[in-house]
């Protein structure tokens, strides 16, 4: 080909090259125009959007939880305080390979599948992104050290200090104070928008007892801070902060030492003790046994721990102090008062007790306890002796003479049948039966044969230990009922205690006989404990006196009381004719009751004791009640415990 | 008298020595406009790098040292006659291929690419960067010895010259550089006057073949990058994180920027690779649209001077070489800016003269040294 040997055509090559360079120039112009247009779009047109995104990246609102208010007893002993613990927390957005991190953590600290399950639940409930969620609570120092060593392998995982609730008295105060635990889904959805906002930084909420009742007071107001965080979630600086308002510290009427003494007095028995200050209605002690350690619940109880708690079958979580049951003979003083008020009897009214009672025109006998002893009765007996001898026949007769309606109308004014307690909402109302009540609840008419049993507290009537204590306190207080209450006052920022005044309506509604008549009943209750054997007359001693005498320790203060024995199974007593509980299966044994009070002119304490399947009220429940009164009224006795925990929590 | 003649004779000696008339600038074969724009770019880049590296003085010092070395190398390269490059092209090309093979065998791995050579006593070095001027040089040598426009058989040879280093770099797992090396060759071929029909045919072929590539050949991370380009929010904390954060940085910079050292995205480490490939995000955040326009303006100044040098070059070899080098430079800058701002899928390419990295700067300035050499070593042609 000729062309092959042609010399390069410089002119033509220059033209081609220049042409191509121009095309390239046009392309470059187009590309640069696109790029600039895109930059203008990003930086001018969408500036607001990206500026907001940038702020969203770095600025984080975080909630600062308020410190929960402390709970003190009447002497300034801490019943619930806040302690720093160290938690392992996860910020999900920063923890990229969480599963790998969890595997590593499992090898360096104690992390169970249960912990991880609980963490996932919390994670799913978390409302605010980029906030930390607890993975495990209460790391030990060794675990903290192990995590610190591996920190670089654990992105998004941190050890954070947190103040959590601590109950120094463990099981002793569990039922009265209650506990806080993690907020659950139901509680969260039940909150109003404002309340939910206030709980954004809070992990725990009061679940039972005082912690629940005074949640609003104890919680406080959440604070906020706006912080700048870097890519790894580290806070670089705090830009704005609204301090949280801590919850109010509160003071209870409770006496921590008495609470512990009451718990010890019950020993290993199941049961409840409630002690009340008659003048104020303040609850000095409220014990339910068996108890449980409320500290287990604070950071979430594991399934294994919960199973362990319930293993005994003795329902330690159940608050026996506020559960209702038949009161046995402890109801007799109030039936007596009803009789006096309604003028059905006078203090001088006597009946003849042959050892049993028969309804008019019926043959079925209602036996006195004496019948089971020696097939005899009390003979002629008045109200005072009927109380201190706990004569059934007298009260069978009185109940029948009163009729169920008058009994009902009278007893409700003593706080029975309603939860008269001001701030113990979980307390049961109990039952004060009437014809109306029976028709509504059992669909039956009232049978006259049921009325005698209401006179001795072994019928339908039910009351809680708390109600019995309050009613005993009313008698101790010369008839005037004070509604039971836990809260005494709040502590201001200056440390001064401001007493909380509750509207107290109970006393106005009370139906009271004359003051002298009340004193008859009060003194009869003093006789229950103190009236010694009468060498000339049989059955003129107080029903609890033999136990007092056997104890060998005379009382150092005037004490009144009334024992009661509630039948668990009617059959046991009626047919077998055998009141020796030692031969009966434990769960069929009678419940032992005792109500007692300081019988000084100005009474300082009233107590109700309930011992589940304990046996006889006089022999079992009376010593418990006495121990509690001793502890409170005779502090120098060894019964008033020295509390080592008090010193430990010196704040 | 004696002293005057003395000085004149000395002056004459100097002229004789350099063979040039004019000042020191001319005698050193430098091109003032190019030098000035490059210098401005380098200083601008150092400022941004100081901020992007979290005010790390050591990083900036290392980069400044690399820039000084690069400028010295550039000045050195500019001293060579164009003929040196023409005659040496095949040998240098072969040498470049040899080094690439060595890298494949003994290279060290950084960010998943085995592109680095650690020689004892020398800073680590990325030989693939050299190919962005070695390939155009080889092509210019080959095509300038033939008549233009190149014929089909010549194109096959050109294809081979391009593919050989491109494949080797691809084997190093450095797609970005391989793509740019191939592009630098394509630019040379385009400038040589390849028929538009072939260009359109080739372009169509690439477009048609890309779905097939995507389905059958693309690796998972490449597919991921493509998918992320179309929708960064499909994995906002993983694959899409870089581009989302860099767009936030750019967009939140606004017109004037947040100020030097004040970019929240940059200073709080929200931009990954903020001192290398994604440094534009830092610049755009702290200096705003104005800063971006200044950068583009500086690149355009370099580009315009490069165009002028290419257009006024005397022979085909010089033209093709100068044209390809300047287009490659522009494409580096454009691709990086487009990728960081989300106009293109992410490929690992530095922003020329701004991103941290010595090799990139040295090799870029070698290219500009060649441009200066082309501009200053013109034979006086008889008119």
Ordered structural domains, chain A, with CATH = 60-252 (3.90.1310.10), 256-304+320-633 (3.40.710.10)
Cβ–Cβ gap A24/B284 under 8 Å: no
pLDDT of residue B25: 61
Residue A487 has pLDDT above 70, yes or no: yes
**Cβ A183 vs Cβ A206: under 8 Å:** no
Q: Which residues of A touch B311 (CB under 8 A)?
A: 18, 21
Cβ–Cβ gap B251/A24 under 8 Å: no
pLDDT of residue A559: 93
Closest residue of chain B to A36, computed from CA coordinates: B293
Of A323-327, A610-614, B129-133, B222-226, where does mean pLDDT reach its minimum? B222-226
Of A393-402, A634-643, B88-97, B171-180, where does mean pLDDT reach its minimum? A634-643
Q: Which residues of A touch B303 (CB under 8 A)?
A: 28
Residues 6+ positions from B41 with CB-CB distance below 8 Å: B295, B298, B299, B302, B352, B353, B354
Active site residues of A: 329
B288 in contact with chain A, both atoms CB, cutoff 8 A: yes
The b/e string for A583-603 (b: 16+ C-beta within 10 A; e otherwise) is ebeeeebbbbbbbbbbbeeeb
- The two beta strands, A249-252 and A71-72, are parallel
Entry field: residues in chain B: 383
Closest residue of chain A to B331, computed from CA coordinates: A28
pLDDT of residue B250: 93
Residue A164 has pLDDT above 80, yes or no: yes
CB atoms within 10 A of CB A106: 14
Cβ–Cβ gap B251/A35 under 8 Å: no
Q: Which residues of B touch A34 (CB under 8 A)?
A: 343
A552, two tokens:
């060998």
Burial degree of A72 (CB within 10 A; 0-12, 13-18, 19+): buried
Residue A110 has pLDDT above 50, yes or no: yes
Q: Which residues of A touch B142 (CB under 8 A)?
A: none
- Which residues 55-74 of chain A have a CB within 8 Å of chain B? 55, 57-58
Please name the residue that has the structure tokens 């039922």.
A175
Percent of chain A with pLDDT over 70: 92
A35 in contact with chain B, both atoms CB, cutoff 8 A: yes
Mean pLDDT estimate for chain A: 85
**Cβ A191 vs Cβ A219: under 8 Å:** no
What is the SS3 assignment for A287?
strand
Q: Which residues of A touch B323 (CB under 8 A)?
A: 17, 20-21, 24
What is the SS3 assignment for A60?
strand
Closest residue of chain B to A237, computed from CA coordinates: B268
Q: Quick one: pLDDT band at residue A251, thresholds 50, 70, 90?
A: very high
Output the 3-class SS for A163-202: EEEECCCHHHHHHHHCCEEECCHHHHHHCCHHHHHHCCCC
pLDDT of residue A581: 46
A155 in contact with chain B, both atoms CB, cutoff 8 A: no
Quick one: which of B367, B366, B375, B364 has its CA closest to B308?
A: B375
Of A46-55, A255-264, A373-382, B236-245, where does mean pLDDT reach its minimum? B236-245
A32 in contact with chain B, both atoms CB, cutoff 8 A: yes
Q: Quick one: pLDDT band at residue A172, thresholds 50, 70, 90?
A: confident
Entry field: residues in chain A: 651
Q: Output B83-90 pairs: Cβ under 8 A, ≥24 positions apart.
A: B85/B137, B85/B317, B85/B321, B85/B370, B85/B373, B86/B140, B86/B141, B86/B144, B86/B317, B89/B137, B89/B138, B89/B140, B89/B141, B90/B138, B90/B141
pLDDT of residue A284: 95
The b/e string for B105-140 (b: 16+ C-beta within 10 A; e otherwise) is eebeeeeebbbbbeeeeeeebbbbbbbbbbbbbbbb
Phi-psi region of B261 (alpha: psi -120 to 50; beta: other; left: phi over 0): left
Strand order, beta sheet including A559-566: A283-289, A271-276, A606-611, A591-598, A559-566
Cβ–Cβ gap A24/B334 under 8 Å: no
pTM above 0.80, yes or no: no
A239 in contact with chain B, both atoms CB, cutoff 8 A: no
A50 in contact with chain B, both atoms CB, cutoff 8 A: yes
3-state helix vs strand vs coil in chain B, percent to 5: 70, 0, 25
Cβ–Cβ gap A8/B337 under 8 Å: no
Quick one: which of A627, A630, A597, A631 has its CA closest to A611?
A: A627
B311 in contact with chain A, both atoms CB, cutoff 8 A: yes
Angle, helices A10-40 vs B175-191, to 10°: value is 140
**Cβ A256 vs Cβ A246: under 8 Å:** no
Q: Which residues of A touch B326 (CB under 8 A)?
A: none
What is the SS3 assignment for A601?
coil
The b/e string for A143-153 (b: 16+ C-beta within 10 A; e otherwise) is beebbeeeeee
Average pLDDT of span A215-221:
91
pLDDT, mean of each 10-residue run, chain B (383 residues): 45 46 67 93 94 88 94 93 91 93 82 72 80 92 84 88 92 86 92 88 90 83 83 77 89 90 82 87 94 96 95 90 94 93 88 89 93 84 49
How far, in Å, CA of A532 to CA of A540, rounded? 8
Q: Which residues of A touch B148 (CB under 8 A)?
A: 8, 12-13, 16-17
The Cα of B169 is separated from the nearest Cα of chain A by a number of Å equal to 26
Q: Which residues of B touch A47 (CB under 8 A)?
A: 251-252, 254-255
The b/e string for A182-211 (b: 16+ C-beta within 10 A; e otherwise) is bbeeebeeeeeeeeeebbbbbbbbbbbbbb
A624, two tokens:
């418990």
**Cβ A227 vs Cβ A235: under 8 Å:** yes
pLDDT of residue A4: 46
Cβ–Cβ gap B193/A13 under 8 Å: yes
Which of B192, B268, B282 to probe the A interface (max A CBs under 10 A)?
B268
How far, in Å, CA of A496 to CA of B325, rounded? 85
pLDDT of residue A226: 85
- Which residues 336-365 of chain B have a CB within 8 Å of chain A? 337-338, 341, 343
Task: State the Cα torsion A230-A232-A234-A236 to the nearest 10°.
Answer: -20
B328 in contact with chain A, both atoms CB, cutoff 8 A: no
How far, in Å, CA of B29 to CA of B27, rounded? 5
Average pLDDT of span A378-395:
92
Q: Quick one: pLDDT band at residue A197, thresholds 50, 70, 90?
A: confident
The Cα of A20 is separated from the nearest Cα of chain B by a number of Å equal to 5
Residue A139 has, within 13 A of its CA and on its CB side, a CA count of 24
Closest residue of chain B to A14, computed from CA coordinates: B316
The Cα of A98 is separated from the nearest Cα of chain B by a number of Å equal to 14
How far, in Å, CA of A154 to CA of A640, rounded? 52
Tens digit of pLDDT for each residue in A151-161?
Answer: 888 888 888 88
Torsional sign, CA A531, A534, A540, A544:
positive
Report which secondary-structure segment, H or E, holds B279.
Answer: helix B279-312
Closest residue of chain A to B319, computed from CA coordinates: A17
How far, in Å, CA of A84 to CA of A298, rounded? 13
Cβ–Cβ gap A43/B288 under 8 Å: yes
Angle, helices B32-52 vs B57-78, to 10°: value is 160
Size of interface A-B (CB pairs under 8 A): 133
Residue A486 has pLDDT above 90, yes or no: yes
**Cβ A429 vs Cβ A417: under 8 Å:** yes
The Cα of B270 is separated from the nearest Cα of chain A by a number of Å equal to 5
Q: Residue A278 — φ and ψ, nearest 5°?
A: -60, -35
How far, in Å, CA of A274 to CA of A283, rounded? 7
What is the ipTM, given to two decimal places? 0.90
Q: Which residues of B touch A20 (CB under 8 A)?
A: 190-193, 323
Structure-model confidence comparison of residues A618 and A432, the more confident one: A432
A379, two tokens:
């003979």
pLDDT of residue A114: 83
Q: Which residue among A21, A58, A230 sits closest to B310, beta carbon to beta carbon?
A: A21
Q: Quick one: pLDDT band at residue A127, thresholds 50, 70, 90?
A: low
How far, in Å, CA of A530 to CA of A388, rounded? 9
Residue A649 has pLDDT above 70, yes or no: no
Cβ–Cβ gap B265/A236 under 8 Å: no
| Beta bridge pairs of residue A249 | A491
Tens digit of pLDDT for each residue in A61-87?
Answer: 778 889 999 999 988 899 999 988 888
């Amino acid at each position: 080909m000729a062309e092959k040997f042609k010399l390069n055509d410089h002119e033509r090559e220059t033209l081609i090259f220049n042409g191509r360079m121009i095309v390239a120039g046009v392309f470059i112009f187009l590309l640069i125009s696109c790029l600039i247009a895109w930059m203008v779009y990003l930086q001018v047109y969408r500036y607001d959007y990206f500026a907001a995104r940038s702020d969203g990246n770095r600025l984080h609102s975080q909630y600062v939880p308020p410190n929960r208010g402390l709970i003190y007893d009447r002497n300034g002993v801490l019943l619930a305080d806040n302690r720093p613990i160290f938690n392992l927390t996860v910020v999900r957005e920063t923890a990229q390979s969480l599963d790998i991190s969890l595997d590593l953590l499992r090898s360096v600290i104690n992390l169970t599948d249960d912990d991880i399950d609980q963490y996932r639940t919390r994670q799913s409930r978390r409302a605010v992104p980029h906030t930390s969620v607890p993975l495990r609570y209460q790391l030990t120092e060794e675990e903290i050290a192990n995590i610190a060593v591996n920190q670089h392998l654990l992105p998004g995982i941190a050890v954070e200090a947190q103040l959590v609730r601590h109950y120094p008295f463990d099981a002793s105060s569990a039922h009265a104070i209650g506990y806080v635990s993690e907020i659950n889904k139901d509680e969260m959805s039940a909150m109003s928008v404002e309340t939910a906002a206030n709980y954004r930084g809070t992990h725990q909420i009061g679940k039972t007892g005082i912690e629940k009742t005074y949640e609003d007071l104890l919680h406080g107001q959440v604070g906020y801070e706006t912080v700048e965080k870097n890519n790894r979630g580290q806070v670089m600086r705090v830009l704005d902060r609204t301090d949280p308002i801590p919850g109010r510290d509160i003071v209870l009427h409770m006496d921590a030492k008495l609470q512990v003494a009451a718990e010890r007095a019950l020993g290993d028995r199941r049961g409840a003790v409630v002690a009340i200050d008659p003048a104020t209605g303040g609850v000095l002690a409220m014990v339910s046994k068996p108890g449980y350690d409320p500290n287990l619940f604070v950071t979430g109880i594991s399934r294994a721990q919960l199973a362990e708690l319930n293993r005994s079958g003795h329902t330690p979580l159940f608050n026996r102090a506020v559960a209702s049951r038949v009161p046995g003979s402890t109801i007799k003083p109030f039936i007596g008062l009803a009789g006096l008020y309604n003028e059905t009897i006078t203090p001088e009214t006597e009946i003849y007790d042959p050892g049993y009672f028969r309804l008019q025109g019926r043959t079925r006998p209602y036996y006195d306890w004496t019948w089971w002893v020696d097939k005899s009765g009390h003979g002629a007996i008045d109200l005072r002796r009927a109380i201190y001898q706990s004569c059934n026949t007298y009260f069978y007769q009185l109940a029948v003479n009163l009729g169920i309606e008058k009994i009902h109308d009278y007893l409700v004014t003593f706080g029975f049948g309603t939860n008269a307690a001001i701030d113990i909402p979980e307390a049961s109302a109990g039952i004060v039966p009437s014809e109306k009540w029976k028709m509504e609840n059992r669909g039956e008419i009232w049978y006259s044969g049921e009325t005698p049993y209401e006179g001795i507290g072994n019928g339908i009537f039910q009351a809680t230990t708390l109600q019995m204590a309050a009613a005993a306190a009313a008698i101790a207080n010369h008839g005037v009922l004070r509604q039971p209450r836990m809260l005494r006052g709040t502590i201001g920022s200056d440390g001064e205690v401001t007493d909380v005044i509750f509207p107290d309506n109970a006393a106005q509604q009370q139906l009271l006989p004359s003051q002298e008549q009340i004193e008859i009943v009060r003194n009869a209750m003093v006789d229950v404990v103190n009236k010694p054997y009468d060498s000339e007359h049989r059955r003129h001693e107080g029903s609890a006196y033999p136990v007092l005498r056997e104890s060998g320790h005379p009382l150092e203060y005037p004490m009144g009381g009334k024992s009661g024995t509630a039948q668990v199974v009617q059959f046991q007593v009626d047919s077998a004719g055998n009141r020796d509980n030692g031969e009966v299966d434990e769960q069929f044994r009678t419940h032992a009751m005792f109500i007692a009070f300081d019988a000084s002119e100005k009474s300082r304490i009233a107590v109700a004791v309930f011992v589940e399947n304990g046996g006889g009220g006089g022999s079992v429940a009376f010593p418990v009640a006495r121990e509690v009164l001793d502890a409170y009224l005779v502090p120098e006795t060894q019964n008033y415990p020295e509390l080592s925990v008090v010193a430990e929590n010196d704040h | 008298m004696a002293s005057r003649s003395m000085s004149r004779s000395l002056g004459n000696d100097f002229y004789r020595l350099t063979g040039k008339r004019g000042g020191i600038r001319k005698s050193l074969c430098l091109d003032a406009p190019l030098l000035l724009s490059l210098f401005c770019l380098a200083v601008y880049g150092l400022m941004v790098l100081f901020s992007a590296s979290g005010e790390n003085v050591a990083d900036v010092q290392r980069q400044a040292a690399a820039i000084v070395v690069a400028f010295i190398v550039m000045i050195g390269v500019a001293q060579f006659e164009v003929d040196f490059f023409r005659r040496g092209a095949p040998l240098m090309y072969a040498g470049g291929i040899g080094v690439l093979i060595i890298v494949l065998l003994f290279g060290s791995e950084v960010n998943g690419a085995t592109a680095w050579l650690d020689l004892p006593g020398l800073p680590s070095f990325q030989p693939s960067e050299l190919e962005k001027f070695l390939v155009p040089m080889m092509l210019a040598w080959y095509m300038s010895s033939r008549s233009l426009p190149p014929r089909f058989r010549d194109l096959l040879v050109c294809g081979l010259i391009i593919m050989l280093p491109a494949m080797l770099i691809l084997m190093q797992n450095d797609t970005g550089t391989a793509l740019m090396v191939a592009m630098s060759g394509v630019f040379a071929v385009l400038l040589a006057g390849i028929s538009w029909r072939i260009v359109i045919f080739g372009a169509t072929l690439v477009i048609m073949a890309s779905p097939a590539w995507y389905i059958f050949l693309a690796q998972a991370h490449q597919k991921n990058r493509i998918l992320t380009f179309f929708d960064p929010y499909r994995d906002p904390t993983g694959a899409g994180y870089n581009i989302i954060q860099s767009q936030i940085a750019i967009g939140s910079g606004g017109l004037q920027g947040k100020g030097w050292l004040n970019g929240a995205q940059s200073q709080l480490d929200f931009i990954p690779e903020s001192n290398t490939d994604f440094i534009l995000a830092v610049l755009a955040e702290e200096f705003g649209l104005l800063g971006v326009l200044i950068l583009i303006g500086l690149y355009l100044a370099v580009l315009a001077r490069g165009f002028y040098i290419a257009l006024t070059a005397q022979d085909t070899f010089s033209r093709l070489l100068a044209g390809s080098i300047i287009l490659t430079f522009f494409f580096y800058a454009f691709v990086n800016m487009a990728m960081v701002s989300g106009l293109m899928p992410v490929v690992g390419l530095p922003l020329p003269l701004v991103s941290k990295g010595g090799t990139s700067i040295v090799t870029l300035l070698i290219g500009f040294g060649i441009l200066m050499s082309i501009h200053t070593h013109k034979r006086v042609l008889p008119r």
